[in-house]
Structures are given as structure tokens and as C-alpha cells.
Structure 1
Amino acid sequence: MRSPLQGLCWLWLLTLVHALATTSGSRESQLRIGKGVNVFVRYGYLSISMRVIPTNESSETERWLFREPTRNIYKNISNLADIHEDNTPGIFHGDFHMEFCENRRQLLQAYFRDFTIERLDKPWEALSGGWFPHTAAKKLGVNASFILGDYSYVLVRVVRFRETGKLAVPIPNNQPLEPEILERVKDLQVGNITETLYFLDQIGSHYINSYTTGNSLYQVFVYNRKNYKMIKDRIKAKGLNGLSKLDLYNYFAPWFAAHLGQIRSASGNATVERWAKRKLQYEYYVVKYVTLLKLHGNSTLLRSLDSLLGNDAILSLDLKALNLFPENPEKQQWFNEVLDNNLKLWEINMPLSNQS
């Protein structure tokens, strides 16, 4: 049997051109449980069509969350979905956390920690693979020189959850398919690479298994290696709550960190970012700086923030690989093989923009 890799290198480009040049009138762009998504349409650049990090748009009235082409795969899939909202007045539904990152690659990985794409080892690269250093710096709110240099980072983030959707149970093998999907499933032939790639393009590679929407404020603190190790070891030994407020402010101050990034809103909400500049300013003698640490344990500020977080972003997303051939293991194995080979090809062909 011929190797599935044969012929895929030139088809990689053909598929990309086809995906970008054509649109299907039967497709929708909605964040809905069970819908099919083709991750190859914008692999490496998925963040341009998912609101996951601030974009260059200046309009604060933009309410879109998800612009990826999606397709209905299953019938009655909403019966399996569990969706709820966290909007009790006066309660901040969220958390405060920080992640320690040895280098730029780990920083991007940390930002997209809650995004998973089944059969892909590095899902964050599907969202940020096209970010060159100056692009990453702008989106993360830091100066480009601190992205390019030999630095470590602490990502501090305050998250406010809004809506959570997930499949309450795995999709049953006998879940009925939409008529068009059923026909495509029957017609797919094992060994036909061109047809399988067309199937991926038209039907999708994955489906939406779960998601969380909401908003977040985040700030990147940049350190030289020595100070980074010191703060990491101290917090690891004592825990965040074991540090005094003075110690906490000192470790995240401009005289200890090499650089304090801007406070950014994941949705790009400029109103929230202006509020943060006013309300989260810390003054130590004659030094003034803005720090997200002021929100830690401050219920009054968190309640104020809750009322301002209007525009939402996608905080987490789990995509599962399509499993449409439960009664034909040979066909499913072939589909998985082509899917895996394509994922590896995309990883290899993406620019090495995230390497440190």
C-alpha cells in the first residue's frame, strides 16, 4: 500500500488555495456544540477569526466571537449539549492566576493553555503560528525588544467566565447525521487522498466539543533569568497566598522586573483597559505604575470590573477529531491517517516564528 504522505506536499498548497478561494453558502460561522470545523483553513492564524486576544480593530461595538466556517454534522445534537451562563448579579464568576514561562514559546503556550485540538500536540501553534515577534509583542502588550531578548515571563490573568457549553455525553455511534454528511461518509474511499482532502475541506476535520466565553484582563511581566528564578522559587515554596502584599508588589514592581507589560483585555475592550490604567495604579514613594496585582483579593475592584466586561472573548475551546465511520474501522483509520499527516505537514511548513 502506498504511503499516505505521497502526493500530500503539493496537495497541501492546493488545499490551502482552495480553502481560501472558495466559500460554501451552506456553511455558517457560529460557536455551537457539535459543529464541524476545518482547522486547516487558517492553521497558524486561527486567532484572526476567533476572538481570543485583542485585534487591531478600533471599534468597541464589534460583538463577534467566532468567524470560522462551520457545518452542521449531526442531527439533534443540541439534545446532548449542556450550556449555562454565569451572570448572578454581584458575584464575580472567575479566577486570578499566574503562569511562569521560561521563554517566548512557553508564554504563548500559557496564553492558549485552555485550547485543545485533538491529534495535535501543540494546539497553541495553530492559533499563534503566524505571529512573528513584533506581532506577538503587540498582542501581549510588551515592547518588542523584550520578546526578542533572553528573558523569562510571568503571565498574570484575571478571568471572568460568562457562558460554558459542552457535550454532556460522548456522541453516540448511532447519532443520526445530516443527509449531505451521510452521503459524503458513504462515498469516501480508502486510499483516495484527493477525495479525502476534499472531504476535510468541505465537511471539516474536527467538531466543537466544549467552549467557554467571557473576558479577561492580563499582563505580562518580563524578568531576567536570575530574578525570574528567585520569584518562581519563592512562590513555589510559599504559595501565592503565603506572600505578604508588600513582597508580592515588590516582586512585580519595575525595580525587580525588567519590563511591565500593558494591561490588555482579551476581547480588546478599550473601555476596560482605560479603567485598568486608572484604577490599578500603584504608588510607591515617587514611583507610579499599573499592575494587575491590585485585583488580587480585592472584591470591590472585582465587582467594578465585572460590570465593565461587556464584549466577550473565547476563553477555552476543545475541538475533537471527527469520528464519522464507527461501522467501518478501516475507513476511520484511513481518515485519521490523512488527518495526522496533514497536521504534521502544517506544523513543519509554518514559519518558525515562535521559537526562542
Structure 2
Amino acid sequence: MVIIGWAFVLMAAALQGWSSAVDAANVEIGRGVDVLQRISIIGDMLFGGAPNNKDMITHDILSNANSITDVVNITNQPKELNITFCPDLDSLFDAYFNGFRVDLSETPWKLLTASWSRYTISERFGVSDMSLSPNYQFVLVSYTRPIKMYKTVKNLTRLADLKSSVVEKFKSITSDVESKVTDFVAEYGSHYVDEYIVGDAVFQVFTYLPVFYTKFQKCFYSNYCSDTEQSVFLSPVFAEYVGQVMTIGNKGEVEKWADTNLSSKSRIGGMYTSLFMMKINPRLFNEIAPLMDDQSVLEMHLKTISIFLNDTVTKKWFAEVLDNHVKLREINL
């Protein structure tokens, strides 16, 4: 996300011998991912909806993942909200998944949300089904709390120990035979997990008619839009729909806390909940932090698996075939 930048979302590596907290994340550094067929399961997983079985998501290609993994504790956690203006639903998806990078893909969020119905979108973004109409525009407010980054070492190709079955399958790939590439992808994946960040994020989606969206946007990017003015824009006075305060990880505790502590009275009557209250009252960042998860995937980078091919010609052919398939899939989604 912008949550991840926005928001939203990285998988914790489940290396052998690690704690159950790691197991919950269901992903390992270096494992293969088939972005053409299985990646939408990861989209579900980012919201805690995927089955607890990593083999349904990734492929086993390395036998020594723990030896090529660096773990970095993220100590700098700014207490600030991100506000992102999204002129349409595609932009909202792009903002939400902006921490998810897939080499060769220009719109990875399309791969992640391929199976999402209108009901699923409504439920997972905490917005009314009616607010998803093409007539509306959106503002995403989010707070991200990253905890750790898991990433491959710089000299990955020299240290990585590929499984013998993967090595043999690589040998079978022949230039100008497309099926050899697609067969490999189906069995071992097209990309591998290069790095990811875990932690948690809370977010809220506000829906606007274009006239009020534009008015808020102009105010926000001027030098004279005060917190008070922004809080009014982020309320039923201007927003057509005020979404629920949602979280990626510890949904029950955080969302219950939000209902109690982020409630405000609207100028046009009635009560509503706004994440923006945390900017007005910064002490709320300290209150919500202990309730947030430390295992949810906030960001992820998938690199093409062809990096492990030694032959230059074969590597180029693999990349060309994969690029064509990824681009074609994005066009058809």
C-alpha cells in the first residue's frame, strides 16, 4: 500500500527451524512462485484468507534457503499517516499493492486480484458495494508498521543450492521451444521470492463524488490545508461513503480499538470512525502499536527465476517467453 509504502504487505520467511510466527507467514526466501497461475492465492493470503499450506502457493526449488537469507530489523517506524488520492478503482488497487513488485509485470495488482469478485473487494477494503461504482473516486488513508525485512544475500547465485530436480529441469529447456519454459514454470515457478517485509498496516477508504474529490485534492496539495480542514474532508460532510477502519493482521483487536478510539461526531449529524484522528491525536499511535500484528506481509519483491540459468542464450529465451506470457495475462485480466 502506500500502505506499504501503502500498504499493504509482506510475507515472513518460513525457514526450517524458525518459530511458529514465521510458519504463519507461509513463504520462504528463494521459493518459486508461478505468477501465471497461482499468484492470486497470494492476493488472498495478504488478507489472511489463504489456506495454511505454502505448497499451494510456492514451489520448492532450493535446499539451503537459510544460508542465503538476510534478516533486517526495521527500527525506524515513523508515526505518520499516508494519504493517497485514487481517481478510480484501478488506482486504489495500485496504491494498496504498491509494495508488491513482480519483475516483468507493470501491474502486479492485476495478478493478485484476478479472482476477486465485487463482493470480495467490498469486504476486504471495508467499503460499501455501492461505493465501487465507476462514478466514484477514492482516498486511501493508511498507517504501516514494518517490523522485519527478509531478503536474499547479494551473492545469491553463487551460494544458492538448487535442488537436483530443478537443475535437471533447467537442462531440458531448449531455445525456441516455448513449451519447455511453460512446463518448467508450471512445475517450479516463474519467479522466486527475493525479499519481503512483515509487520502490519491499518487503512481506511473514503469514497467521493468527483467534485468533492477534486476539492479535497486541491486543498491537500496546497500550502494552506490544515489538519482541521482535512478532517472535515475525511468525514461524511464531503465523503459519499466512509469505509471501515481495516487491518491486514490482528483484525479483531485493532478494529475493535478503532471503533472505540477513532469515533467522531459529524458536522451533519451522526457518528463516524476516521483513521485521521491519529494525526490529530498522535498519542493514539502508541496505543494501537501493541495491538498490531508483526507477521503480516506488507511488501514483496519477486524476481525472475531465470537468474539461476547459466547459459546466456537459454536465459534470454526463458525471459522472452515469460515476458510475453506475463504481459498477455495482464492484458486479459
Q: Provide TM-score, normalisation by structure 1.
A: 0.78
Structure 2 equivalent of residue 155 of structure 1: 140
Residue 337 (1) aligns with residue 320 (2) = yes
Residue 190 (1) aligns with residue 172 (2) = no
For residue 82 of structure 1, the aligned residue among 52, 70, 83 is 70
Residue 53 (1) aligns with residue 32 (2) = no
Structure 2 equivalent of residue 141 of structure 1: 126
Preserved contact between residue 247 and residue 255 of structure 2 (Cα < 8 Å): yes
For residue 114 of structure 2, the aligned residue among 112, 122, 129 is 129
For residue 258 of structure 1, the aligned residue among 228, 240, 258 is 240
Residue 246 (1) aligns with residue 231 (2) = no
Structure 1 equivalent of residue 61 of structure 2: 73
Q: Cα distance, 1:329 vs. partner?
A: 1.6
Structure 1 equivalent of residue 186 of structure 2: 201
Structure 2 equivalent of residue 35 of structure 1: 31
Instruction: Give the secondary-structure state (helix, strand or coil) at the position aligned to 2:276.
Output: helix
For residue 298 of structure 1, the aligned residue among 262, 281, 298 is 281
Q: Cα distance, 1:270 vs. partner?
A: 1.8
Structure 1 equivalent of residue 259 of structure 2: 277
Query: Relative to structure 1, is the Cα distance of residues 268 and 148 closer, same or farther in structure 2, using a 3 angstrom cutoff?
Result: farther
Q: Cα distance, 1:325 vs. partner?
A: 5.4
Q: Provide TM-score, normalisation by structure 2.
A: 0.83
Query: Relative to structure 1, is the Cα distance of residues 98 and 168 closer, same or farther in structure 2, using a 3 angstrom cutoff?
Result: farther
Preserved contact between residue 84 and residue 164 of structure 1 (Cα < 8 Å): yes
Preserved contact between residue 65 and residue 314 of structure 1 (Cα < 8 Å): no
Unaligned 5+ residue runs, structure 2? 1-24
- Counterpart of 2:260, as a letter, is R
Q: For the residues of structure 2 that align with 1:66 and 1:303, how far apart are their CA atoms?
A: 34
Q: For the residues of structure 1 that align with 2:42 and 2:63, how far apart are their CA atoms?
A: 27
Q: For the residues of structure 2 that align with 1:127 and 1:186, how far apart are their CA atoms?
A: 31
- Counterpart of 1:31, as a letter, is V
Query: Relative to structure 1, is the Cα distance of residues 84 and 173 closer, same or farther in structure 2, using a 3 angstrom cutoff?
Result: closer
Preserved contact between residue 215 and residue 311 of structure 1 (Cα < 8 Å): yes
Structure 1 equivalent of residue 300 of structure 2: 317
For residue 109 of structure 1, the aligned residue among 94, 107, 118 is 94
Unaligned 5+ residue runs, structure 1? 1-28, 351-356
Q: For the residues of structure 1 that align with 2:273 and 2:294, how far apart are their CA atoms?
A: 22
Q: For the residues of structure 2 that align with 1:254 and 1:95, how far apart are their CA atoms?
A: 23
Query: Relative to structure 1, is the Cα distance of residues 118 and 170 closer, same or farther in structure 2, using a 3 angstrom cutoff?
Result: farther
Query: Relative to structure 1, is the Cα distance of residues 168 and 298 closer, same or farther in structure 2, using a 3 angstrom cutoff?
Result: farther
Q: Cα distance, 1:347 vs. partner?
A: 2.4
Preserved contact between residue 147 and residue 294 of structure 2 (Cα < 8 Å): no
Preserved contact between residue 235 and residue 266 of structure 2 (Cα < 8 Å): no
Cα RMSD (Å) = 2.7
Cα deviations by residue, 1:244-274 (Å, 9 ceiling, x for unpaired): 3321211111011111011111126122111
Percentage of pairs with the same residue? 26
Corresponding residue pairs, total = 308
Structure 2 equivalent of residue 4 of structure 1: none
Instruction: Give the secondary-structure state (helix, strand or coil) at the position aligned to 2:43.
Output: helix
User: Which protein shows a greater Rg?
Assistant: 1
Query: Relative to structure 1, is the Cα distance of residues 160 and 69 closer, same or farther in structure 2, using a 3 angstrom cutoff?
Result: same
